[in-house]
Amino acid sequence: MDPSSARANSGGLFSGKTELQPLKEKRICLVDKKHKKKLKRTAKKKKEKAASQEATAKLKKQMNMFDRLPNNCSSCGKNFPKTQEAHMTWQVVVREQKQQVRLFCPECQKQAKEIVENQNEV
């Protein structure tokens, strides 16, 4: 027998077989967990950024509509006083699709509620 073939059959250094070493599973799991956390964080940041941009865009649209705010009540024509109490009691209705802003005084708000209640009773 040839000495090189004897060595090949004995499983020595140059046996001709390539065996894969078993991977360290713990290390792979840690990398996977870290990678998953990183992906989760980036997805969360992306989602928060999109929500923030959407809110900012919506606020810009509303601020542009603020210029259209009338100086008097849209139903009775009563002038809008520039006081803190008036700002807390008067109601602003914005219709974005129609590009329409309406302002209602407290008396007209009460009348509208009464009309709606009466229609619900019938």
pLDDT in tens, 14-23: 555 566 666 5
Residues 84 and 122 placed together within one structural domain of the fold: yes
Q: How far is CA 75 from the centre of its chain?
A: 37
Q: Within 13 Å of residue 84, how many CA atoms lie on the same side as its CB?
A: 0
Tell me, yes or no, if the pTM score tops 0.95: no
The whole domain housing 35 covers 23-67
13 within domain boundaries: no
CA pair distance 64, 70, nearest whole angstrom:
14
Q: Is the pLDDT of residue 26 over 60?
A: no
Retrieve residue 92's tokens.
């602003």
Residues 33 and 57 placed together within one structural domain of the fold: yes
58 within domain boundaries: yes
Which parts of the chain fold into alpha helices (H)?
A: 3-10, 25-66, 84-89, 106-121
14 within domain boundaries: no
Residues 77 and 122 placed together within one structural domain of the fold: yes
By the 8 A CB rule, do 72 and 57 touch?
Answer: no
- Which of 9-13, 31-35, 106-110, 117-121 is predicted with the least confidence, judged by mean pLDDT? 9-13
Calculate the average pLDDT of the chain: 79
Residues 74 and 111 placed together within one structural domain of the fold: yes
